[in-house]
Amino acid sequence: MRVLTVSGSLRASSSNTTLLEAAALVAAAGVRLERYSGLGELPHFNPDDDGENVSAHVREWRRQLQAADAVIFSTPEYAHGVPGSLKNALDWVVGSGELVGKPVALFNASARGVFAQGALTETLRVMSARVVEGVTVNLMGTKWEARQIAEDAAMAGLLRGGLRALGEAVTDGE
């Protein structure tokens, strides 16, 4: 199973990115997590720029989504919402449909990020993605590295549970 992971944060030392890296470390055999790292390269969404001459960055974003069996998003919350860069990325695939019917999980690095999680869930459901059970691993105030998270039994257990639910959604959809 190929899972595309998308951090909604552009920060170099993002807890959301670290959480996704930890998930890759605890993934079961046969489950490959691949990080999408082009969020900051996508142009501002403009329907007039879509079509045959769409940016190479947008084509690559769409290609990676299409090739994935499932997607995991982990995003910070800014002003009770999803960061603009992530919303922009999603806007580029509303009409092209790469998320239609695709299993998607939300991994949360902060117990306080409930508004962004709700907004992202709503956006993904409107886009006809199959949003499955996600997990919250509260990393607020920590500087844990992915390896430390993966070695912590409780945190690793949460991540494995989220990956298992996502894998079941992929299997159920086949």
Starting at the edge strand found earlier in the chain, the sheet holding 70-74 runs 32-36, 2-7, 70-74, 103-108, 130-136
Query: In this predicted structure, what is the pLDDT of residue 174?
Result: 66
Percent of the chain with pLDDT over 70: 99
Listed residue (98, 104, 145) closest to 6, CA to CA = 104
Q: What is the DSSP string of 35-46?
A: EE--GGGSPPP-
Q: Which domains does the chain have, with CATH numbers?
A: 2-172 (3.40.50.360)
Listed residue (86, 108, 101) closest to 23, CA to CA = 108
Residues 6 or more apart in contact with residue 92 via CB below 8 angstroms: 42, 45, 50, 58, 61, 62
Phi, psi (rounded to 5 degrees) for 72 = -120, 130
Listed residue (92, 98, 87) closest to 120, CA to CA = 87
Residue ranges of alpha helices (H) inside 27-101 are: 56-67, 84-91
Query: In this predicted structure, what is the pLDDT of residue 112?
Result: 84
The residue whose two tokens read 């509303």 is 94
For residue 36, the Cα-to-chain-centroid distance in whole angstroms is: 9
- Structure confidence at residue 134 as a pLDDT band (50, 70, 90): confident
User: What is the signed CA dihedral for 83, 89, 90, 92, rounded to 10 degrees?
Assistant: 150
Name 106's bridge partners. Answer: 73
- Mean pLDDT, range 143-152, rounded to an integer: 95
Residue 173 scores a pLDDT above 90? no
pTM: 0.96
**pLDDT tens sequence across 14-69:** 999 999 999 999 999 999 999 999 999 999 999 999 999 999 999 999 999 999 99
**pLDDT tens sequence across 57-87:** 999 999 999 999 999 999 998 899 999 999 9
- Structure confidence at residue 12 as a pLDDT band (50, 70, 90): confident
